Chains A and B, each alone.
Chain A
Amino acid sequence: MTERITKSMAKNIYYGGGIFALMIFIALTFDTVQQIPERSNEVDMTPSVVAGKKLWEDNNCVGCHTLIGEGAYYAPELMNVFQRRGGSDEAVFKAYMKGWMAVQPIEIPNRRKMPQFNLTDNQVDNLSDFLIWTSKVDANEWPPTIEG
């Protein structure tokens, strides 16, 4: 197969193909950046949502959980935890979150443990707002079921 391809042909495929792919990628990147604000409802990104994201990062939540399918697989997916544990009701979810965060770590022998992060009520609300916002992102119909 390679007998018919010369070194300079191979070289041209590399540069030509590589630059072509890169150009399409850059063009689509621009378009995606234009579309993300609408798909993610950026208008609803309140200061509390932004603060929640920072807390999510500062406590390395992604080291155990997935969020929209990305992260570690040690603990449940949280994109739809608002629907799963809060029944899509903000007040219910926020109350649930306060209770949940307060009782960690749950003392069931050999159950996987979530550390106690000692967050204030306000901070837990920020996290809840962040997760509520995330649950409304248009992720092309993902996750497939409520169990995530």
Chain B
Amino acid sequence: MKYSSQMVAKPYFIFALILLAGEILFGLLMAIQYVYGDFLFPLIPFNVLRMVHTNLLIVLILFGFMGATYYLIPEETESELWSPKLAIVTFWVFLVAGVTTILGYLFVPYAHLTELTFNNLLPTMGREFLEQPLPTKVGIVLVVLSYLLNTGMTILKGRRTVITTVLMTGLIGLAFFFLFAFYVPDNLIMDKFFWWFTVHLWVEATWELIMGAILAFVLIKVTGVDREHIDKWLYLIIAMTMVSGILGTGHHFFYMGAPEYWLWIGSISSAVEPLPFLLMVLFAFTMSRERKIQHDNEMALTWAKGTAVMAFIGAGVWGFFHTLAPVNMFTHGTQLTAAHGHLSFYGAYIMIIFTIISYAMPILRGRPHGNCAKAQKVELTSFWMMNIGMMGLTLALSAAGIVQILDQRVGTELIGFMESQESIAGIYMVRGGFGLLVFIGLMTYFSSFFIKEEAK
């Protein structure tokens, strides 16, 4: 570790991983309730499980991004973090806000929670992924502002690189587009339209910039490839991200009340969306092949290649499956969307967080050459368990989606939703099984942290 302020990244990483365990656990509970409707009902109805599952995911990714930023920004700018103290205070504020919100979901009926948290003053709740009470939303704004300030000030006083510029652009975008979460028009269609400004432009534009910056940083560190070369790749990747991702928002506007021209614009531009992910795969593998150093932390490079590949499959390939308007007519609102959502979030965002943690955490723990061979072996096992688990559950959800379409939307012998769901129960059990594998994989990953270094 070159700068002592990088140490603030550690609690962010640890807490992100704890939240990930909670996120997967709630996913497993949902998988059970999907098949056994009485499970946990009425103690925790499905909508509550789902809110906890998705909100934990969002929050853990933000924690992961912040940890990654605080680790890499001092090294990139060659100066200490502007205010490590602010970063620590922000960590605790975010932690308390996050935990309180989750407890609120679990212990207060949602309709009552809306009353308690001033939702009648400024209604923002009850929309998918943006279910957070008003005070939590305001808290997120403050946390993100503090994060922007700290990062921005550090960049201003230090060296500027392509990585810091891209990262900062992503962060500003993240902060800006969250503001649409506060805009809730009475017209449902208008509401849906601007809701995507937060949801899509986070996930398929600004977050991709952040991911690209983190990936480029880790690749520089573990391959020793010339920075100029890496920078060029990074620019190309984010150029493709911007060109395809911004207008790609159109693929959400096909069938929700927006005008017809989105059918064309959304289809064409989102057909290009796999490209930045394909470039990331080429990027990771080319840098790995051309590497100038043989870093002892082999797992960091494995995760870096893994995140590029899984993001390409999840976001690129699975996204493309249903992104053309005539296909989306039949897939819209089915389990295929869930399949794509699961693999893309995992591949792009969970794995990039594993990548930076795998690289940075050993250094933060005083192991500049990475963990010992034994620990890395366990980590590699967990890498495969989680990848296979996620791939399996994605395939199961895809199969479920296809059956759903055949049951409800194609041909003349149609059956209703509930009946169709019953016919898919077996597939949902398979999904749950693969989910369990992911969870065991994560526990295996955790165990790799506790393997003692061999005496040298």
- Residue among A25, A33, A67 facing the most chain B CB atoms (10 A cut-off): A25
Q: Which residues between 73 and 109 of chain A lie within 8 Å of chain B, taking CB atoms? A: 73-77, 105, 109
Task: State whether A113 touches B45 (Cβ < 8 A).
Answer: yes
Q: Which residues between 233 and 283 of chain B lie within 8 Å of chain A, taking CB atoms? A: 233, 235-236, 238-239, 242-243, 246-247, 249-250, 253-263, 265, 269
Q: Which residues between 95 and 123 of chain B lie within 8 Å of chain A, taking CB atoms? A: 110-111, 114, 119, 123
Task: State whether B186 touches A72 (Cβ < 8 A).
Answer: no
- Name the residue on A nearest B195 (C-beta): A70
Q: Does B228 contact A (CB under 8 A)?
A: yes
Q: Does B417 contact A (CB under 8 A)?
A: yes
Q: Which of B16-24, B72-80, B124-132, B311-319 contacts A (4 or more CB under 8 A)?
A: B124-132
Q: Does B193 contact A (CB under 8 A)?
A: yes
Interface of chain B, main secondary structure: helix
Q: Sort chain B's interface into a size bin.
A: 35 or more
Known pairs A60-B110, A139-B257; A36 contacts B333 (CB<8 A): no
Q: Does B92 contact A (CB under 8 A)?
A: no
Q: Sort chain A's interface into a size bin.
A: 35 or more
| Complex CA–CA separation, A81 to B247 (angstroms) | 32
Q: Which of B30-38, B149-157, B345-353, B442-450 contacts A (4 or more CB under 8 A)?
A: B30-38
Q: Which residues between 10 and 26 of chain A lie within 8 Å of chain B, taking CB atoms? A: 10-11, 13-14, 17-18, 20-22, 24-25
Task: State whether B236 touches A13 (Cβ < 8 A).
Answer: yes
Known pairs A10-B239, A33-B190; A74 contacts B46 (CB<8 A): yes
Q: Which of B47-55, B216-224, B363-371, B386-394 contacts A (4 or more CB under 8 A)?
A: B47-55
Task: State whether A110 touches B38 (Cβ < 8 A).
Answer: yes
Known pairs A13-B235, A24-B247, A72-B47; A57 contacts B36 (CB<8 A): no
A-contacting residues of B (Cβ < 8 Å)? 33-38, 41-42, 45-48, 50-51, 110-111, 114, 119, 123, 125-128, 131, 184, 186-193, 228, 231-233, 235-236, 238-239, 242-243, 246-247, 249-250, 253-263, 265, 269, 329-330, 332-335, 337-338, 407-409, 414-418, 420-421
B-contacting residues of A (Cβ < 8 Å)? 2, 5-7, 10-11, 13-14, 17-18, 20-22, 24-25, 28, 31-33, 35-37, 39-40, 42, 45, 50, 53-54, 56-64, 66-77, 105, 109-113, 115, 117, 130, 134, 137-148
